[in-house]
Amino acid sequence: MKTTLSLSSAAQVETECLAVVVLDRSEKKSGEKEKPEVAVSTSDKAVQQAATDLIASGDVTGKIFEISWMHKPAALKAKRLLLVGGGKAKTFSASELRKAAGAAVRALKPRNLRSLSFAVPEQVGAEDAVRAIVEGAIVGNFDPDTYKSDRKDQKVESLTVIASGEQASLQNAMEQARIVAESQNFTRELVNEPSNRMTPTILANRAKEMAKDVGLKFEVYGADKIKEMKMGAFWGVAQGSDEPPALIVMRYEPAGAPAKPVLGLVGKGITFDTGGISIKPADGMEKMKYDMAGGATMIGVMRAIALLKPKVKVIGIVCATENMPSGKAQKPGDIQTAMSGKTIEIINTDAEGRLVLADGLCYARQLGCTHLIDAATLTGAVVVALGYANAGIFASDDGFYDRFKSAVDSSGEKMWRLPLGEEYLDAMRSQIADLQNTGGRWGGASTAAAFLKEFAEDTPWIHLDIAGTAWMEDNKPWIAKGPSGIAVRSLIEFASKFGS
């Protein structure tokens, strides 16, 4: 999507469609039934006038994501006026605006409209509004129907953001937002691929192409190197597949960056998860192509970091393999020795993500990372705890968490901190090895996190369990059903400010 900034008045912009936000400014008074008090969120008098009759009709309530059309609006150069509901004015923020922009794009797509102009609403600061509109529009433009033989290309090709303010700063905000949103969509493209078209080797090749395009240092290692480095936990998962594993390493080392801190981003890259010998039920297993979403997240984040150029060193590591049942596969009861030297009793081969991450976290520390964040579609337990609304956050260091939480709040993504503690680690202790890879039914997200913490050791560490949020289960007004790209925005926001 081509993005353009306009400092003209909204009424003077020639476009197929001009979108503006409408808000409900009403406040409920005690004992009275609340009535919507709808207003267009723009100071442009011509736009306000054009929308007057439609609003007066009562058909526009300002309800969040409500879409109302007006053709050939009087006194406007736009062919259509699109009113997008933003909900209550008192709670409207950049987060709602981001989704409103996505909803506007998704309203245009089936109508084969190729261009959109979006007026910045008054309730959000100009730079934040520009970022939100660009991010929401680009994310909303993505559809997962890649392999439909009769696919109709309905992409909105151009977006004009109408704003007022200092042009250079607004243009910079637009460019940053474009990088972030395109990186989120890059992650979504990787996750959307079926496993026969996204093997560990193909994932490594896509990451290599990306690294070359944006100037990242890149290395990939296969089975021989994984075994040589004594990554027994990683190899235990990989040994059951005919597809070779890939240890993907991406390095961002900008000139002038201090030697420390070094941020390590570690992603689970299970390109298909059958569960191994502890095989999953057939129902819904096709979705297990998304089990590499944590790895894809880190690849997308590294892309954005390379383009945004923060003054901090970042290393991205993805442990990519399939988890397959075969005559070579690890079995329940097996003992694996991780890179750190810790021994692990395999209780359930479907608890494989924590095994590859264990070696990934250890390797990140060996490479000099002083702070660690991992992302993984790790547990069904986090979905039981938080549903599909929030990703789970676990953190070993409160100060590190506070900085990350600030980035999450800025990004508009929804995450919730869950507990760690010795009581969860106790459930992961084995009678014949140092650890076991499952801890029973209860508190499964926390016991899995406690297992991972053993491999982060004393390094400040955050674990993101995105199992419930990496895949949108239904179409939403602002985003298509399918891969979401969750955590990409938050991680980019965090990394961009981490060295400052």
Token reading at 337: 């020795």
* Catalytic annotation present for 313: no
Which is the catalytic residue, given 25, 280, 417, 476?
280
Structure tokens given for 6: 């306009």
* Residue 20 three-state SS: strand
Let me know if 188 is a catalytic residue.
no
Provide the 10 A C-beta neighbour count for residue 223. Answer: 17
Encoded tokens for 467: 């199992």
- CA–CA separation, 168 vs 190, rounded Å? 33
Extract the tokens encoding 83. Answer: 């009113």
How do 471-472 and 343-345 pair as beta strands?
unpaired
Instruction: Please give the biggest Cα pair distance in the chain.
Output: 79
Nearest to 412 by CA among 4, 102, 89: 102
Give the Cα-Cα-Cα angle 354, 428, 418 (nearest 5 degrees): 70
Q: Which two tokens stand for residue 387?
A: 């549903």
Active-site pick, 354, 365, 405, 453: 354
Contact status, residue 483 vs residue 295, Cβ threshold 8 Å: no
**What's the chain's length in residues?**
500
Q: How far apart are alpha carbons 354 and 224 in whole angstroms?
A: 21
State how far the Cα of 489 lies from the Cα of 497, in Å rounded to an integer: 13
Using CA atoms, how far residue 151 sits from 144, 155, 196, 242, in Å, is 10, 11, 20, 33
So which residues are the catalytic ones? Answer: 280, 354
